[in-house]
Amino acid sequence: MKIVAAAALLHLCFSATAAVSGSGSTETALAAAPGDIALLPCYTVGNVTPSFTTWMKNGLEVAASLPPAGRRLAVQHDGSLAIREVMPGDEGSYLCSSTLPGNSTFQARVLLQVTGGPGNVSTSISPTTALSNGTLVAPRGSSVSFKCSVSSYPSQNLTWAFRGASSSNQSLAFTSESWLDFRIEDLQPSDQGVYICRAVNTVSLNTSTDRRQLLVYYVPDRHPDCMWASAQDPSRVQFSCSWLGAYPVPELRWGQGGGFQVTDSLSVTLNRSLLSDGETVRCTARHPLLGPGQEKSCSFTLNLPFPEGEPLVTALEATSVTLTCAEATSVPPANTTWRKGLQQDNVVAGSKYVLSEEGPILKLTILNISKDDEGVYFCRSENPLGVRELEVYLTVKTASSAYTGAIIGVFIAALIVGLAVIVAKNVYSSRHRICLGDGFGQMDEDRGDVLSLVESDDEQLFQDAVPRLPPITNGCHTTLVQIHRIPSSDYEDAETADLSPQQQEDTVQTEEPEDLVTF
Ligand SMILES: *[C@@H]1O[C@H](CO)[C@@H](O)[C@H](O)[C@H]1NC(C)=O
Ligand SMILES: *[C@@H]1O[C@H](CO)[C@@H](O)[C@H](O)[C@H]1NC(C)=O
Ligand SMILES: *[C@@H]1O[C@H](CO)[C@@H](O)[C@H](O)[C@H]1NC(C)=O
Ligand SMILES: *[C@@H]1O[C@H](CO)[C@@H](O)[C@H](O)[C@H]1NC(C)=O
């Protein structure tokens, strides 16, 4: 129970000044800590040495002059009582009675209190990690135990208090025992602050405190966001990376070479000479809560533009045509435009050109085509890596070339009709040898074989019908073969809408009236 410091040979604490009561007695209050040497004064009013002194405690004699050597309580030469090593239990009311020279007596009362501590409060907050300055750190969501202990004699009040951003001094726990623990489950940023354990000796009012700063670290679950922004100059690009919602502020880095910077959003501007096709650009985030190898990152792989589409387009004069170009692979996204001619003049939307965009597909519609529109068009795609172009050659056909196509169509149709006639004739001449059974008789009447003749120009679609045999009755006596065209409504809709009067004439020629061949 030796609490007093070794250097303090004599520790006297007068918590109340001596008060003279009457003519021949004083009362003094005195506090001593266990282990101290306490000196209880007796005759302090005069300068006379008492000839004999006895000390009583709570009515019992505890010491008298001329004691045997080596006792813990001893009356000193001047009548005071020395307690060599104060112990718990020494507290009480002491009365000294001194006989002064001349046989007068003197009495003095001393109230001794024994109080000890609190010593140094010992605290622990765990599990946490300590920074170099002693501040403790715990991650958000963790469970943390707070422990505090210290002992005082005869009793103490022990408290845990918290000072944070939102509370100036919040009391968290209280006890009169010598230890005080509590626990925070699911630690939150609002729990960040200073935790103070304070012990007060209820008698001496001596206090001891320990304060610990606790930081609550957290990181977002998400990865950083990688973004790009196009610069004024198409050969430059700004990459930005942000990772918001981490505490403390994370460190970000673009690429491998540069160092990390303490920031939650970082941008770099790169030019064409620093970028290459297929390169992966990565932003890495570092944070104290992420161990080595657990860094979070986002990235994208750079790709040159690659405009795709039909390189050869044919259109008929006075119609309109739509050129299409798909740009789906470029990273960062390309700026794609239509250009015309070898000078690559910008195509400007207006009464001649209609520009439209459907997702990755860019369309250029040229209205009322004339021979002047024939030539090369470019779908030009540029991103910070470079420029790629799709070359589209537009051929404009005049009405006469369409006419040639129609003639060929008619010729082939006539050839097929002729063939059908020959087949029909053969069938007829051998009718006594072959009798068509049920299978043939049930031939589906709605199904006609249609031959489509498609020119290189998509818009020019010629359809003609192959004559077919009508259903033959079971009796095999039919002698009539009918050959006729299938009227095609699709064909008429498609052709008549777009064609010039001259062309409509052409189609009329192909539209043969129902042929009736009678044998
Ligand atoms: C200890 O360091 C941390 C991080 O550098 C800082 O936030 C905190 O305020 C410091 N604490 C003290 C008591 O200096
Ligand atoms: C100790 O706590 C008790 C009970 O709350 C209170 O009455 C007393 O005043 C406290 N003593 C000190 C010294 O704080
Ligand atoms: C591209 O950037 C590098 C480094 O910043 C610089 O040395 C170079 O001159 C730049 N080139 C162009 C074309 O801007
Ligand atoms: C189509 O172009 C011709 C000349 O190329 C012009 O005479 C005609 O008015 C144009 N038609 C329309 C509908 O713009």
pLDDT score of 405 = 58
pLDDT at site 70: 67
CA proximity to 180, closest of 163, 201, 161, 153: 161
Ligand 3 shell residues, CB under 6 Å? 271, 273-274
pTM to 2 decimals?
0.64
Q: 157: Cβ below 6 Å to ligand 1?
A: no
Contact 254, 266 (CB under 8 A): yes
For residue 441, what pLDDT is reported? 39
- DSSP codes of every residue in 376-420: EEEEEEEETTEEEEEEEEEEEE-HHHHHHHHHHHHHHHHHHHHHH
CB 161: neighbour CB atoms within 10 A? 19
CA angle, residues 247, 253, 258, in degrees to nearest 5: 140
Splitting the chain (519 residues) into consecutive groups of 10 residues, what average pLDDT does each group show? 30 34 65 89 80 88 72 86 91 90 87 90 95 96 96 93 91 94 96 96 93 96 93 90 96 89 94 92 94 92 96 95 95 94 94 94 95 96 95 90 61 71 67 48 38 37 37 38 39 38 35 37
Enter the tokens of residue 12. Answer: 């006297």
Helix H, strand E, coil C: the string for 443-487 is CCCCCCCEEEEECCCCCCEEEEECCCCCCCCCCCCCCCEECCCCC
- Which protein residue's CA is at the shortest distance from atom 5 of ligand 4? 370
Which CATH class for the 117-217 domain?
Answer: mainly beta
Domain 3-114, architecture per CATH: Sandwich (2.60)
Give residue 487's pLDDT: 41
Query: Ligand 4 atom 9: the closest Cα is on which residue?
Result: 368
Second-level CATH architecture of 225-301: Sandwich (2.60)
How far apart are the CA of 136 and the centre of ligand 1, in A?
9
**Is the C-beta atom of 131 inside 6 A of ligand 1?**
yes
**In this predicted structure, what is the pLDDT of residue 135?**
97
Q: Compute, in angstroms, the gap from residue 276 CA to the centroid of ligand 3.
A: 14
Distance CA 353, CA 366 (A): 5
Q: What is the DSSP annotation of 288-301?
A: TTS-TT--EEEEEE
Assigned architecture for domain 312-397: Sandwich (2.60)
Q: Which atom of ligand 4 is nearest to the CA of 318?
A: 1
Peptide bond before 154: cis, by omega within 30 degrees of 0?
yes
Residue ranges per structural domain of the chain: 3-114, 117-217, 225-301, 312-397, 459-518
Q: Decide whether 117-217 matches 225-301 in CATH topology.
A: yes
Residues with a CB atom less than 6 Å from ligand 4: 368, 370
State whether the beta carbon of 199 lies less than 6 angstroms from ligand 2: no
Whole-number Å distance, alpha carbon 157 to ligand 2 midpoint, is 6
Q: Which residues contact 368 (CB under 8 A, 6 or more apart)?
A: 318, 320, 352
74 and 63 in contact (C-beta within 8 Å)? yes
Could you tell me the two tokens for 472?
Answer: 């033959």
Residues 6+ positions from 344 with CB-CB distance below 8 Å: 378, 380
- Candidate of 155, 159, 174, 202 to mutate for ligand 2, largest count of ligand atoms within 8 Å of Cβ: 202
| Ligand 4 closest atom vs CA 351 | 14
- Residue 325 CA, ligand 4 centroid: distance in Å: 26
- Which residue, among 167, 156, 245, has the nearest Cα to 199 in the 3D structure? 156
**Tens digit of each residue's pLDDT (9 = 90 or more) over 52-67:** 889 999 888 888 876 5
Identify any residues that bridge with 129 across adjacent strands, giving them in sequence order: 137
